[in-house]
Structure 1
Amino acid sequence: MHALESSPRSRTGDFSLRPDAPTSSREDDPRWQLAERIAASSSLGRSRLMVDFLLYVVDRHIHNRSDEITEQQIGVLVFGRPEGYDTNEDNIVRSYARNLRKRIEEYFVKEGKREELLLQIPRGGYTPVFSPGHRKQISDVAQLEVPRDLQFIENVETVDIPDLADSMITEQEPTTQELTVEESEATGTNETLGFARLVRKYAAVLLLIAGFLLGSLFTVFFPPIWLKRLTASPAEIASKDLWAQLFSSKRDTFVVPSDDGLVIMQRLTERPVPLASYLDGSYRTKIQTVGDSDAAEIMKLGSRRYTSVVDLDLASHLGQLSEVNPQRMIVRYARDLRMDDLRDGNAILIGSIEANPWTELFQAHMNFRFSIHADNEKPSGIVNVHPRPGEEPIYGAPGVQNHTYGLIAYLPNLNATGHVLIVEGLNTAGTQAAETFLLTPSLLEPTLRRARLPSGGFQPFEVLIGAGNVASNAAAPQMVLERIGSF
């Protein structure tokens, strides 16, 4: 078995090879050249890890080292996981593989449609497969995909209707010597009836053709999403515009549910986990539980993949929106998210700072901020950094069990090239209240109307939501406070 080696970090990155492997063979190999073109294409976007994944498996395949193309080694060499990590608990390789397959298919449909070589990563493994003749396949598929109706139209257009009518009349027309005056009149009547039947017959065909063309034009200029928009209320239109900002065909949108195992661990240890510790994993190795015989079990909570049904319900609703491009919407566990994802992509972060540490990156740009204190010596709640007259400095007083609060914040991403939506609550009921408010156009519309920009987009905004808490379920959410514009 070969020693583990690092994967490339750019398209020009070097791979470690066997001593007897020629270093020039890879660069001259058309399979490697194809992989580099895919890696540089817009289909893969700016996902460095996805590029590393592709180049790693192609490099190992080219150098006959397919024994190194395993989930374990990809996780270690591409994604920086420790050797011997549990692939059953951590599915980052499988998650990226699914998205990589979609992006490769997208490449060959768009930028690579004229490629002479086809690259696939079949399901059930990670070893790439190359096959020739992709241009022919595309041509065949294109031919198969021509609607039968269009082929029928082409045949109809070649028919010369007047000539056909004349030939039919000529076949029925007797000679003038054989006609009496009465016969002549009768023949004229028959000719007229025959021509009328012919016109009616082909008129129906022409009407069908015209109907098909009109329907096609209507579909082009008024696709289903626009048909829904024409019948939508102003509140529904405002919500659709918000989702259109968050789900773009130009960049990925990451839907990130909460890490509830992290919440349980923090409650048991009474120690908060900042984002820095969450990223380097030190929170799982520095737990101080003096005299606690269950320390090992508590540490395992930090590596488990628990999330809330409320979060999954929101993710499910988002996936059904007409504005969503399925190839651009990616559900990613909080522990698998990377900083680059929040720099250039759009994101929807679900859960408070205690359950989703990534929200820490945006707290400084928010007026309403979560303050969580496990020791109960200080009140936990949503802090109103700059309270206005009549407003409270903190919402969520301890001991109040029948009322809760949630928060919705719409902010720029880290590079201000996209958008981040934060949906969080003091507890499960609070997060549910925020989600219900977000998915109810009539509740959200007043805020969207005030945040609307002349360009059609929206300013950053925050909405503090209050709701009844009945057995951990939100009841009757309503807006308590809002902020429009940058903090």
Structure 2
Amino acid sequence: MQTLQSSPTIDADLSLPPPKIGDVEVRGRREDPRWQLAMRIASSRSLGRSRLMADFLLYVVDRHIRDRSEEITEQQIGVLVFGRTEGYDSNEDNIVRSYARNLRKRIEDYFAGEGSDETIRVDIPRGGYIPIFSTAPAKSAATPSEPDDETGTIDDLSADGAEVAPAAKEAQEEIRLPQQHQTKRSDDAAAGSWFLTAKEALRGRLALTALCVSLSIGLLAVLVPLLRRLPEYAHAHADQALSHALWAHMFTNERDTFIVPSDDGLVIMQGVTERPVPLANYLDGSYRTKLRTDQVPGTPELLKLGRRRYTSVVDLDFVAHLAQLNEVVPARMMIRYARDLRIQDLRTGNAILIGSIEANPWIELFQPQMDFSFSIHPGSDIPSGIVNSHPRAGEAAIYGTPQSDHTYGLIAYIPNLNSTGHVLIVGGLNTAGTEAATTFLLTPSLMKPTLQRAKAANGGLQPFELLVGAGNVATNASTPQLVVERIGLP
């Protein structure tokens, strides 16, 4: 039986204090090679800066090593690692399963890259969360192929490398003989042969000429339309190159990119109660508690609505388009429901926040550094719209939607909370406004002028904000148009 040993090339730092997950101290067994391996993976580049993913791995390894595998359940992990309340409904809140999928991928990346020299490996099989340890397969050294003992001269091989048969070799030799050693034909036969050869050659030349003329005509028929559209192709390529610069900043190997669709259940809830939900109340859940305290009519149904996870088809369509971008790094693309996002994610990662502040309260953190901001007042006489903090000549102070046939959307590219990454806010005053913003952003020809002006001297992009407008036809947006643009931070 083989004994698991730690890798001699990568050692865990045993001087560090045991990590804590919430109020639970994770001790493991420090001398155990399995614990040392888990510590190396948790601090590796493959896991990035995801503290929750590292806590997840360390928790399940610790409980497994200490023979407490009965504590490795979705419910326990949700409570102890992700801070969920006791008895939460894991069917509605699938954060553990979501993180488990990403953790399995990150572990594979570790062993394929920086952990390729590990002598033991760990896997978390699908269908559960109990880790399995095994010895890493030994690397087999490549054996150089032995040269063939039987070699032949070039004359003994045909053009494709096959050995030439004796009869063929004789024919080759005959071909190589000087002309004077071959049997002379009679003068008449030679003359007749010459006439036939000349006639055949003439036919061949005529056929070849006809073929060339036909090919030339066909080639011109193909090339002329292509040449006419060459400027169009050149413009399309330039548009794509500028869009590539934007998406290459949003999706990188260095950090996770969190895509956060709107919480439409929250929007419905605010519309019924006519109460806005600030970010602080959204995070601690107090907006639901207050409904019970104030005995709002229909509270049980409203609370169900607040717990459910709804988002719009527009958001899902946008996420589907993002996933198909060439610049996406699949292992670094994280789709998070708004309630599952953590403020640390917006400090260290990139993020794409979809919807208005009413549907995605995280936008509240970034509005102070923006020229344009959402101002939503359900059930109030105060007009709702997108506020222009510093209106210029010809610009309005607020862009609202008093008419049902027009809407506005907002696109903002700004630094994350630590200015180490980027946040892209894409939303609108309603579903049609968000659709207008996403359509504009995903159309390279529409984004080209702004991206050209936002291009920095170092090749990067300056922050920018775009206010777009569109017709609203049965909650669907018509072709969006740029209304106001801002380049650089206010």
- Normalization by structure 2: what TM-score? 0.79
8 Å contact kept, 1:118–1:134: no
Partner residue in 2 for 1:352 = 356
* Cα shift readout 1:177-207 (whole Å, capped 9, x = no counterpart): xxxxxxxx988326789xxxxxxxxxxxxxx
8 Å contact kept, 1:11–1:39: no
Query: Cα 1:49–1:167, aligned 2, differ >3 Å: closer, same or farther?
Result: closer
8 Å contact kept, 2:236–2:445: no
**1:307 maps onto 2:307 in alignment:** no
Displacement of 1:67 after TM fit? 0.3
**1:334 maps onto 2:338 in alignment:** yes
The alignment partner of 2:67 has SS state of: coil
Query: Which of 110, 113, 124 is matched with 1:110 structurally?
Result: 113
Query: Cα 1:170–1:351, aligned 2, differ >3 Å: closer, same or farther?
Result: closer
8 Å contact kept, 1:464–1:481: yes
Which amino acid is the alignment partner of residue 32 of structure 2? D
Partner residue in 2 for 1:436 = 439
The alignment partner of 1:446 has SS state of: helix
* Cα shift readout 1:426-479 (whole Å, capped 9, x = no counterpart): 000000000000011111111101100122211000000000000000002100
Show the 5 A alignment for 1:188-267. 188-189=173-174, 233-267=237-271
The alignment partner of 1:28 has SS state of: coil
What is the distance in 1 between the residues matched to 2:237 and 2:20? 56
Displacement of 1:165 after TM fit? 3.1
What is the distance in 1 between the residues matched to 2:74 and 2:102? 15
Which amino acid is the alignment partner of residue 188 of structure 1? E
Query: Which of 94, 97, 101 is matched with 1:94 structurally?
Result: 97
Query: Cα 1:468–1:189, aligned 2, differ >3 Å: closer, same or farther?
Result: same
Query: Cα 1:33–1:295, aligned 2, differ >3 Å: closer, same or farther?
Result: same
**1:36 maps onto 2:36 in alignment:** no
Which amino acid is the alignment partner of residue 155 of structure 2? A
The alignment partner of 1:469 has SS state of: strand
8 Å contact kept, 2:21–2:80: no
Displacement of 1:333 after TM fit? 0.6
Partner residue in 2 for 1:370 = 374
Displacement of 1:321 after TM fit? 0.6
Structure possessing the higher radius of gyration over alpha carbons: 2
Which structure 2 residue ranges, 5 or more long, are not aligned?
1-15, 179-232
What is the distance in 2 between the residues matched to 1:88 and 1:467? 38
Partner residue in 2 for 1:385 = 389
**1:50 maps onto 2:53 in alignment:** yes
Identity in percent: 64
**1:13 maps onto 2:19 in alignment:** yes
Query: Cα 1:170–1:233, aligned 2, differ >3 Å: closer, same or farther?
Result: closer
The alignment partner of 1:233 has SS state of: helix
What is the distance in 1 between the residues matched to 2:172 and 2:372? 92
* Cα shift readout 1:330-372 (whole Å, capped 9, x = no counterpart): 1111110011111111110001100000101100011011101
What is the distance in 1 between the residues matched to 2:383 and 2:172? 103
Query: Cα 1:480–1:230, aligned 2, differ >3 Å: closer, same or farther?
Result: closer
What is the distance in 2 between the residues matched to 1:15 and 1:429? 42
Query: Cα 1:135–1:286, aligned 2, differ >3 Å: closer, same or farther?
Result: farther
Which amino acid is the alignment partner of residue 13 of structure 1? P
8 Å contact kept, 2:271–2:379: no
The alignment partner of 1:285 has SS state of: helix
* Cα shift readout 1:120-174 (whole Å, capped 9, x = no counterpart): 00000000000113344xx59xx7xx9xxxx9xx79x96997635359999959x
What is the distance in 2 between the residues matched to 1:413 and 1:160? 68
Displacement of 1:406 after TM fit? 0.2
Which amino acid is the alignment partner of residue 98 of structure 2? S
Query: Cα 1:288–1:483, aligned 2, differ >3 Å: closer, same or farther?
Result: farther
8 Å contact kept, 2:373–2:388: yes
- CA RMSD after TM alignment: 3.1
Show the 5 A alignment for 1:69-218. 69-136=72-139, 139=140, 163=153, 165=155, 188-189=173-174
The alignment partner of 2:255 has SS state of: coil
What is the distance in 2 between the residues matched to 1:281 and 1:462? 31
What is the distance in 1 between the residues matched to 2:65 and 2:332? 30
Displacement of 1:375 after TM fit? 2.2
Partner residue in 2 for 1:221 = none
What is the distance in 1 between the residues matched to 2:317 and 2:273? 29
What is the distance in 1 between the residues matched to 2:148 and 2:261? 59
What is the distance in 2 between the residues matched to 1:298 and 1:170? 87
Displacement of 1:114 after TM fit? 0.9
Query: Cα 1:189–1:330, aligned 2, differ >3 Å: closer, same or farther?
Result: same
Query: Cα 1:189–1:392, aligned 2, differ >3 Å: closer, same or farther?
Result: same
8 Å contact kept, 1:113–1:135: no
What is the distance in 1 between the residues matched to 2:316 and 2:116? 37
Q: Which one is further off, 52-61 or 450-459?
A: 450-459
Partner residue in 2 for 1:478 = 481
8 Å contact kept, 2:412–2:426: yes
- Give the count of matched residue pairs: 414
Partner residue in 2 for 1:201 = none
Partner residue in 1 for 2:199 = none
Query: Cα 1:67–1:433, aligned 2, differ >3 Å: closer, same or farther?
Result: same
Which amino acid is the alignment partner of residue 486 of structure 2? R
Which amino acid is the alignment partner of residue 256 of structure 2? D
Query: Which of 427, 448, 451 is matched with 2:451 structurally?
Result: 448
Which amino acid is the alignment partner of residue 373 of structure 1? H
8 Å contact kept, 1:269–1:289: no
